[in-house]
Amino acid sequence: MEKRSVFSTKKLVLTALMAALVFCFTYLHIDIPTPLSNTMLHLGNVMGILAGLLFGPVSGGLAAGLGSGLYDMMDPRYLPTCWLTFLMKFAMGWVAGKLAESNKDQVLWRNIVAGGAGSLTYVVLYILKTFVQNRLIYGYEMEAVLATMVTKGVTSLANGVIAVVVAVILNKAMRPALERAGTFDQT
């Protein structure tokens, strides 16, 4: 009896394609300065959430984590924490994919909840990382840390809302064509 791989070649290629899209859509960004560092408005999370909605938790997590982690590796400002970015973005894609996994009928509100939960997971982890890094590791004053957390939180929430809206729309538009192409035959 032939043993099927858990991660088919097709799924590997689709995951790599989505990771490349996460990287590209993160690369096109707007920097936003904060009191202690900076943050950015970008569309990389759209592709990470979309990967989770389309291809499940593992592919979604890997695409979001690898694409964002690779972006961080290319920028000296983010290089030291690229591993944290990988983990946080992996969690975002994984949560979105895990919740969307049971949505076989593609009920719209379930995809919105899945994408929203993935985005919210990332925002919470990012704000927690900001606090730990700036207050506990660097020892910055609490007022500066809170101002940075608010700026990063608002920006991340904006990224998250945009990601959910656009990813859900793209999922609805792309899924029928991907189903006709046999993309979901192998998992």
Picking from 98, 102, 52, 42, the residue whose alpha carbon sits closest to that of residue 72 is 42
Residue 87 forms part of a structural domain: yes
The tens-digit pLDDT sequence of the chain (187 residues) is 555 556 788 899 999 999 999 999 999 999 988 888 888 889 999 999 999 999 999 999 999 999 999 999 999 989 999 999 999 999 999 999 999 998 888 889 999 999 999 999 999 999 999 999 999 999 999 999 999 999 999 999 999 999 999 999 999 999 999 999 888 754 4
Picking from 151, 167, 129, the residue whose alpha carbon sits closest to that of residue 45 is 167
Residue 1 forms part of a structural domain: no
Domain that holds residue 128: 9-28+36-175
Residue 183 forms part of a structural domain: no
Which H or E run includes 39? strand 38-42
Residue 2 forms part of a structural domain: no
Residue 180 forms part of a structural domain: no
Q: What is the CATH number of the domain that holds 47?
A: 1.10.1760.20
How many domains, in total, are found in the chain? Answer: 1
Residue 162 forms part of a structural domain: yes
Q: How many of the other CB atoms lie within 10 Å of CB of 88?
A: 22
This prediction has a pTM of 0.91
